[in-house]
Structure 1
Amino acid sequence: MVGKLKEDSTINEQLAQKPFEKPDFKAEKKKKKRRDRDSVRLEENEVSPKTKVQEGTDSELQKKKKKHKKSKDVNLDIKISDEKEEAKVDENSTDGSVVVTGKGVKEAKFVPLKSFVESGLPDEVLECCRTFKSPSPIQSHAWPFLLHGRDFIGIAATGSGKTLAFGVPGIMHVLKKRKGKMPRGRSPLCLVLSPTRELAQQISSVLENAGKPCGVMSTCLYGGVSKGSQISCLKSGVDIVIGTPGRLKDLMEMEVCRLAEVSFVVLDEADRMLDMGFEPEVRSILSQTCTERQMVMFSATWPLQVNQLAQEFMDPDPVKVVVGSEDLAANHDVMQIVEVLDDRLRDDRLGALLEKYHKSQRNRVLVFVLYKNEAARVERMLQRRGWKAVSIHGDKAQTERTKALSLFKSGSYPLMIATDVAARGLDIPDVEVVINYSFPLTTEDYVHRIGRTGRAGKKGVAHTFFMQQNKGLAGELVNVLREAKQVVPDALLKFGTHVKKKESKLYGAHFKEITADAPKSKKITFNDSDDE
């Protein structure tokens, strides 16, 4: 704060040397009040350094103090300011930048973790991180704030380590609340909401392994399977509930899942959850959790609908960490090939591409389609042609979907056809190639689809079929390709490159039009020529 006052003084001296301008008395009066208020806070902190947030007349400060006073295990080492602060850190991110905003981030002496040991967490909690050399960017920037009880928004690409970014602070939250005692029949303290069953299962697997060494129990609630085992698990007592909105709401209405004690809530893939129409369920579920809760939201993009939900259920101006960019951008480790063709030619072209990319029938290839019946048809067609293929889509029972995913992950059936149920959040190891047999309904889904490859620093290939009926998304796709310095085919440019903001309701103003003379990159080949 002293540095801030000196900075103000230096700025005033520089302004004094400028030619005379008519002063803005109202603005000067506001600045003087702010400086006086900062000086008083500085003196109070020097007298009582242990005091984190001083009492005052400001209603927002009173709300902050009241919320965190009730939770003795939370020790906020921050001081709330009157203006939105911003810190920029240039290290370890996908595009070299991490932006942190929110009230008090500067006063909190924000320091991202360079190692897991720096967090000071118990060895049994850090056991889940022992296979990693260092925290990922979202982990290193999220933990300091989450462990100190701040409401938090994380914007990061898929495959960035988000599960442990919120999972480890969630486990610590449980341990502090339980104070080392884990009684039977206990009600959950932590809730994680996920848009899809597969993602919920994946999060549950990570948190079960992470919580086991310290006795923190998790359960996963999702539809498509019997409720019996899920009800039994809830009755025996759990600490963390991971679930999809539909099944969770059903069990709440049956009064077997009670969330009144939940004080740590995570919305993972928040944008996708609302896009799938789960907003009424999400609002209903959140209203049943503890009013003195810590809210965490992770999302790949930040559309208006998600922002409105955050404003309603989170503290005013929470900490927001953006790793890379809020704009829609594809993973630069993925080589994108877009091919414009007639839909009647897709089956034969898919066969030719599999001969090229999947000749060994050992490497993992993921084929995306748009509709459930299309997934079943393509699966049968490929099986008739001799390919070992499985599929996951909404018409399959959950047990069949789980089995198919397991066969694909193990490599027993390394070719999988999937609808967009598999595009979000799933961590499928070593997928070398993604083929978009059908272009998705949104460019955002395209980015998430191709994000299934090129993960954990590896390179990947995404080959996409683009047809006449997809021409409304041509401009957005061109922008994504150019941002990643990929080749833009002339056939795609013929559909036009203009993008109207109002056409992209999901992203708001995320898309920025790129001029036609933007630089293009050289074509990269995958073994043989891509034109064969």
Structure 2
Amino acid sequence: MGRKLKDPSTLSDPEAQEATNHREAKAEKKKKKHKNKHRDEEEEEDDQLSPPKRKLEEENSDSKKKKKKHKKSKESVNNEEEPKRNGEVEESNSTDAVVMVTGKDADEAKYKPLDSFAESKLPSEVLQCCVNFQRPSPIQSRAWPFLLDGRDFIGIAKTGSGKTLAFGIPAINQVLNKRNGKFSRGRYPLCLVLAPTRELAQQISDVLVEAGKSCGVESVCLYGGTSKGPQISSLKSGVDIVIGTPGRLKDLIEMGLCCLKEVSFAVLDEADRMLDMGFEPEVRYILGQTCSARQMVMFSATWPPSVHQLAQEFMDPNPVKVVVGSEDLAANHDVLQIVEVLDDRSRDGRLVALLEKYHKSKGNRVLVFVLYKMEATRVENMLQRGGWKVCSIHGDKAQNQRTQALSLFKQGSCPLMIATDVAARGLDIPDVEVVINYSFPLTTEDYVHRIGRTGRAGKKGVAHTFFTHHNKGLAGELVNVLKEAGQNVPADLLKFGTHVKKKESKLYGAHFREISADAPKAKKITFADSDDED
């Protein structure tokens, strides 16, 4: 029977304090004894572990330490601020701070990012086109050291990141090096840039023509929908850089009017879009006409398997890959995304109501996207009958009509334009305040590129999207894009579900299972008839 303690209330103050101290000391001793016993049991259990089990636990422990270290490192990278550029660095958002560089020798000191144009050590006449910018953009800062060293290069960067000059300046420098600094050009072009659409090809050409003026580098733009005569004349007079769309360029090569055998610097811009549009056979044919010792450059907003396969075939085994931002699908956070679920018949009236809200009193630039050429014509005619001043660009229009419409829209003479997805990528249209998706595109990637026409150069924009039951298969992907950008997800959209479909090719349909090239071949199994068995 234990000793009965006195009631603390009956003790004097010194006695009460001594009793309290005694109890606390006893409890601490008991706790320490229990802890030591528990530790001894753990050590004994560890001693009894079989070698494989002990090794597995050690590996798990090391793995946790590495993950913790990697997480800390990643946080430090994300907290680094990118230097701001004094110019139009478009569609900027927080993901610009994330830069991934992979490839053989990619981390060597000679490939460190450039903090200034002077660090590139390029001639002043080559850098003349950059005088209005304070420093290289993130993609230029990382691309130039590799490209100027002759490395094959893959760049993943969003539209408006300065990627035209990211490959354009090294291309011009390559021409000067091949000429040994002389202004006289050879018979055949030395550099090639392929683009998926006429508008993007023309925009690249405008940049490179301007950039090449100070050092005498000539460029020509080859695209369909217009007369071949002026393009052929430019080729015959001699050019240094050819910028073109795959279809027209292939035609001129087959006619014997464009020879690419001396091209030693080849660029595929918007490579994912080019293959998605079905130009893969033309791209392969054109690249096959270039010099076998060429330097290959690919720029793309995303990196699907088809583009990866093309890179494996036409690039060195270890090309450098620089990702500015993320390879994952993400929308510009400077754009307010409003998604409205409605039926097809309500779209015309709703479009007019939105134009009354966003455009009529302000006269600001509004870009309305539709899906098909016939739809573009119908919507344009419907608005014109309603008294709206509107222009349009789509594939059924001649190139001079498309160029004129785009010029009127850029100048603000006709600030309301209807467009198919030919205007979704790459086009530099300043001060588009509102994008309206009258028809949802075939892919969520195209949706992201469409709304990227607004909210550029650090400005805010609005994207208002009509979503119908015909688009329900893309509801899950759209929900993810909205959530990633911190946008409101309407309840009507969630009714379609949040399932994300497996990626599909516009040409070949759904890819239900990806099989690697080195996978073992299927074996034929013959089942014997049961009557013949012994």
Structure-1-length-normalised TM-score: 0.78
**Aligned AA (2:304):** P
Deviation of the 1:107 alpha carbon: 2.7
Name which of structure 1's ranges 221-230 and 121-130 shifts more when overlaid on structure 2.
121-130
The answer for the alignment partner of 2:417 in structure 1 is: 416
Root mean square deviation, CA, Å: 2.2
Bigger share in helix: 2
Give a deviation string over 1:95-132, Cα, whole Å, max 9, x none: 12101011111234431111212211111111111112
**Aligned AA (2:113):** P
In the alignment, the residues of structure 2 paired with residue 111 and residue 334 of structure 1 have an alpha-carbon distance, to the nearest angstrom, of: 33
The answer for the alignment partner of 1:316 in structure 2 is: 317
Deviation of the 1:361 alpha carbon: 4.9
The answer for the alignment partner of 1:450 in structure 2 is: 451
Contact 1:302 1:507 in 2 (8 A): no
Distance 1:258 1:503, change over 3 A: closer
**Aligned AA (1:150):** R
Contact 1:194 1:267 in 2 (8 A): yes
The answer for the alignment partner of 1:246 in structure 2 is: 247
In the alignment, the residues of structure 2 paired with residue 213 and residue 403 of structure 1 have an alpha-carbon distance, to the nearest angstrom, of: 28
Contact 1:216 1:239 in 2 (8 A): yes
The answer for the alignment partner of 2:69 in structure 1 is: none
The answer for the alignment partner of 1:349 in structure 2 is: 350
Give a deviation string over 1:185-233, Cα, whole Å, max 9, x none: 5210000000000000000000000001000000000001111110000
Tell me if 1:129 matches 2:99.
no
The answer for the alignment partner of 2:385 in structure 1 is: 384
Distance 1:322 1:234, change over 3 A: same
Deviation of the 1:501 alpha carbon: 3.4
Secondary structure of 1:297 counterpart: strand
Secondary structure of 2:383 counterpart: helix
In the alignment, the residues of structure 2 paired with residue 408 and residue 502 of structure 1 have an alpha-carbon distance, to the nearest angstrom, of: 34
Give a deviation string over 1:55-85, Cα, whole Å, max 9, x none: xxxxxxxxxxxxxxxxxxxxxxxxxxxxxxx
| Matched residues, number | 430
Secondary structure of 1:123 counterpart: coil
Contact 1:364 1:430 in 2 (8 A): yes
**Aligned AA (2:193):** V
Tell me if 1:215 matches 2:208.
no
Contact 2:444 2:474 in 1 (8 A): yes
**Where in structure 2 are the equivalents of 1:233-272 lying within 5 Å?**
233-272=234-273
In the alignment, the residues of structure 2 paired with residue 440 and residue 460 of structure 1 have an alpha-carbon distance, to the nearest angstrom, of: 19
Contact 1:150 1:319 in 2 (8 A): yes
Tell me if 1:304 matches 2:320.
no
Give a deviation string over 1:37-72, Cα, whole Å, max 9, x none: xxxxxxxxxxxxxxxxxxxxxxxxxxxxxxxxxxxx
The answer for the alignment partner of 1:404 in structure 2 is: 405
**Aligned AA (1:179):** N
**Aligned AA (1:491):** D
Secondary structure of 1:373 counterpart: helix
In the alignment, the residues of structure 2 paired with residue 504 and residue 485 of structure 1 have an alpha-carbon distance, to the nearest angstrom, of: 29
In the alignment, the residues of structure 2 paired with residue 508 and residue 159 of structure 1 have an alpha-carbon distance, to the nearest angstrom, of: 31
Deviation of the 1:184 alpha carbon: 5.1
Deviation of the 1:183 alpha carbon: 2.8
Distance 1:422 1:507, change over 3 A: farther
In the alignment, the residues of structure 2 paired with residue 455 and residue 507 of structure 1 have an alpha-carbon distance, to the nearest angstrom, of: 34
Give a deviation string over 1:235-282, Cα, whole Å, max 9, x none: 000000000000000000111100000000000000000000000000
Deviation of the 1:306 alpha carbon: 0.3
In the alignment, the residues of structure 2 paired with residue 252 and residue 504 of structure 1 have an alpha-carbon distance, to the nearest angstrom, of: 28
Secondary structure of 2:290 counterpart: coil
Distance 1:120 1:507, change over 3 A: farther
Secondary structure of 1:352 counterpart: helix
Deviation of the 1:500 alpha carbon: 3.7
Secondary structure of 1:238 counterpart: coil
Secondary structure of 1:501 counterpart: coil
**Where in structure 2 are the equivalents of 1:81-480 lying within 5 Å?**
90-92=80-82, 94=93, 95=95, 96-183=97-184, 186-480=187-481
**Aligned AA (2:107):** K
The answer for the alignment partner of 2:521 in structure 1 is: none
In the alignment, the residues of structure 2 paired with residue 442 and residue 425 of structure 1 have an alpha-carbon distance, to the nearest angstrom, of: 17
In the alignment, the residues of structure 1 paired with residue 106 and residue 335 of structure 2 have an alpha-carbon distance, to the nearest angstrom, of: 34
Name which of structure 1's ranges 488-497 and 118-127 shifts more when overlaid on structure 2.
118-127
In the alignment, structure 1 segments of 5+ residues that lack a partner are: 1-17, 25-86, 510-532
Give a deviation string over 1:433-467, Cα, whole Å, max 9, x none: 10000000000100010011111111111000000
Secondary structure of 2:111 counterpart: coil
Contact 1:185 1:236 in 2 (8 A): no
In the alignment, the residues of structure 1 paired with residue 455 and residue 216 of structure 2 have an alpha-carbon distance, to the nearest angstrom, of: 35
**Aligned AA (1:178):** R
Deviation of the 1:330 alpha carbon: 0.6
The answer for the alignment partner of 1:3 in structure 2 is: none
In the alignment, the residues of structure 1 paired with residue 339 and residue 373 of structure 2 have an alpha-carbon distance, to the nearest angstrom, of: 23
Distance 1:507 1:241, change over 3 A: farther
Distance 1:507 1:431, change over 3 A: farther
In the alignment, the residues of structure 1 paired with residue 100 and residue 111 of structure 2 have an alpha-carbon distance, to the nearest angstrom, of: 12
Contact 1:439 1:465 in 2 (8 A): yes
The answer for the alignment partner of 1:483 in structure 2 is: 484
In the alignment, the residues of structure 1 paired with residue 252 and residue 273 of structure 2 have an alpha-carbon distance, to the nearest angstrom, of: 22
The answer for the alignment partner of 1:30 in structure 2 is: none
Secondary structure of 1:295 counterpart: strand
Give 1 or 2 for the bigger CA radius of gyration: 2
Deviation of the 1:287 alpha carbon: 0.5
Contact 2:344 2:468 in 1 (8 A): yes
Identity %: 78
The answer for the alignment partner of 2:10 in structure 1 is: none
Contact 2:185 2:240 in 1 (8 A): no
**Aligned AA (1:171):** I
Deviation of the 1:508 alpha carbon: 8.7
In the alignment, structure 2 segments of 5+ residues that lack a partner are: 1-46, 56-75, 83-91, 513-534
In the alignment, the residues of structure 1 paired with residue 406 and residue 321 of structure 2 have an alpha-carbon distance, to the nearest angstrom, of: 34
Structure-2-length-normalised TM-score: 0.78
Distance 1:263 1:256, change over 3 A: same
